[in-house]
Chains A and B, each alone.
Chain A
Amino acid sequence: MALERPVALTEHAASGRGPAGSGASEHHRARWERGSWRRLASSPVAVVGLVLTVLFVLVAALASYIAPTDPFSFAGTPFERPSPKHWLGTDDLGRDVFAGVVHGARTSLFVGVAVAGASLVIGTVVGGVAGFAGGKVDDLLMRFTELSQVLPRFFLALTVVALFGPGLRNMVLVLALTSWELTARVARSGVLAVKELEYVTAAEALGSSPWRNLRTHVLPNTIAPVVALASLQVGGAILIEASLSFLGLGDPNVISWGYMLNNAQSFVRRAWWMSVFPGLAIAVAVLGVNLLGDALNDFWNPRSRTSGAAR
């Protein structure tokens, strides 16, 4: 037992530190985590994604403090150019564009996170059960998944909103119900690979029931790529929400970037700020979460691991 921590040693080598002394397990673990963190932070893509995402989330969370004006209230005269009073100008009804952009972040973030979260849960459950149970259950669930996968997402959302009326809840619901297929497939393939591994058999040999095996051993070992995928879906959901709102099918009672763009259409030449700033906001937010999602995907993808894993 001379060489007890091969991985730890490579970590030390990478960071140029000497091996830790004895009795330093918390530090050891912390260093391990810091090492992974450093790996993530060493990629510029990840850093840009992280910074933009954090900015996006902060703006959404602190919207009422950043822009105390109600985005629907008449804050000035129509079509005011950007000025110290109205940083991003006002729209055709004299509403503050800055307040609209800031509060719109809330809507976008809510839709993005709600859709991605729901697809994460549905996809993991469907894919996990399908992969773990195998056989007929697998066939049935995966055929169903494929069936849902061929539904054109955008037009389905369009139809549902047109039929049941615009509203955030309808939109989130329909997007969530049409975006879990890929998650399910990724979860299933992960489960298929992990359930054959020895530690799952070993756990079973020690009296772990199949259900507990799935929960405690199989899913935790499959979840990383699924979460990375979900983070990519945040961006997709934000875009669809913006597109629907742009077409006038958004929730008229909630400010959103798509709604602002829709409104700005008629005044593109007269008031460029009405369209440019919400458009920029969408671009930056989606870029941020996608870059972060990509980075997480790379980070958690076992094939891209060069130094971390020992085996």
Chain B
Amino acid sequence: MTEPLLSVEGLHTHFFVDAGVVKAVDGVGFNIRRGEVVGLVGESGCGKSVTSLSIAGLIEPPGRIVEGSVRFDGTELVGASERVLNSVRGPRIAMIFQQPRASLDPVMSVGRQIGQALKAGTGMDRPARRRRAVELLDRVGISDPERRVREYPHQLSGGMAQRVMIAIALAGEPDLLIADEPTTALDVTVQAQILELLRELQSANGMAVILISHDLGVIAEIADRAAVMYAGRIVEECAVSELYDAPLHPYTLGLMESRPAASQSKSRLRVIPGSVPVPLDLPVGCSFAPRCAPRVESGLTACTEQAPDPVSPRDGHHVRCWLHG
């Protein structure tokens, strides 16, 4: 197989706060090939966003990447200088965020903000950037781009603002787009449109996408592969279809069962008992063990003694669980 576009290995990002060390990301590893869409799923606080910020080198004190490697197209990004990072961010790796309107500078017109991204990546002159900005707005499905290019963020709806963000991200024609909950702040119809747009742009440009979401539906919609995160680790990683049809990790199973389904509208939702462990005080062994019903049933003792290493019961399906080890 060819070299992956992005290869994350043993990534540990910790936050050193007064109360102790928060191990927000604690040994994450995955690969992304060119043109592949990978979904990163998990509850709030499981480390999805910190993982993506670590990849882009945007972790700020008190946070620090303490260990691990992020190789992007042959370049090591962990510990790379600001100059190297700035040459990668934008033209090669672009990011979009959850709050599209908050991600746009309120005092700058849409056109100028796209222009900024173009200037960084291409060095086009002003009229060329202007034309390109209009093209990009048109590309992301904004009607009347000639007019919109002169508008300011407060004049845009949430969905439009996210389209503009996507246009800005596309300006540098990146190889990898990291979309951190891109549709969470939008209402469902707009959400569907944005996902559709992302998928279309992804296949047209052949760019790889890391889609971060807590919404399994969103992941199912667009991703090729999915990685489920829990308490700073990837607990299961496989093709999306397999994740839905044959999940292996008890946590994934719990997530699947706790989705509301149209067919069973009357019955109570199933939930995973307990709550996410406090990151300052992770349990010894598997961090999911205290909430894990199958563990109790099977009577495994390893779960509370040692953290499981990833195993691959099937080809391309990795899981961190003693039940399968």
Chain A interface residues (CB < 8 Å from chain B)? 1, 3-8, 22-23, 25-26, 28-29, 197-199, 201-210, 216-217, 220-221, 309-311
Contact = CB atoms under 8 A, between A and B. Distances in A.
20 contacts: A1-B157, A1-B159, A4-B155, A25-B147, A25-B150, A26-B150, A199-B104, A201-B103, A202-B96, A202-B103, A205-B56, A205-B89, A205-B94, A206-B89, A206-B95, A207-B86, A207-B89, A210-B82, A216-B108, A311-B101
Contacts of A220: 105, 107-108
B54 to A, nearest CB: 12
B144 A207 contact: no
Given A6-B157, A25-B151, A309-B154, A206 B104 contact: no
A28 B101 CA distance: 20
Interface stretch (B5-13, B114-122, B230-238): B114-122
A205 B95 contact: yes
Contacts, number: 102
B280 to A, nearest CB: 23
Contacts of A208: 86, 90, 116, 120
Contacts of B154: 7, 309-311
Nearest to B155: A5
A22 B172 CA distance: 31
Interface string B47-67: 000000000101000000000
A233 B90 CA distance: 42
A206 B82 contact: no
B168 A206 contact: yes
A284 to B, nearest CB: 34
Interface of B: 56, 58, 82, 86-91, 94-97, 99, 101-108, 116-117, 120-121, 143-144, 147, 150-151, 154-157, 159-160, 165, 168-169, 171-172, 178, 190
Give the residue among A8, A25, A28, A220 with the most B Cβ atoms within 10 A.
A25
A5 B151 CA distance: 10
Nearest to A198: B102
A205 B90 CA distance: 7
For the complex of A and B, the 8 pairs showing the least CB-CB separation, nearest first, are A207-B90, A205-B95, A202-B103, A198-B102, A207-B89, A25-B147, A206-B90, A207-B120
Contacts of A221: 105-107
Given A208-B120, A220-B107, A202 B97 contact: yes
Contacts of B88: 207
A202 B182 CA distance: 13
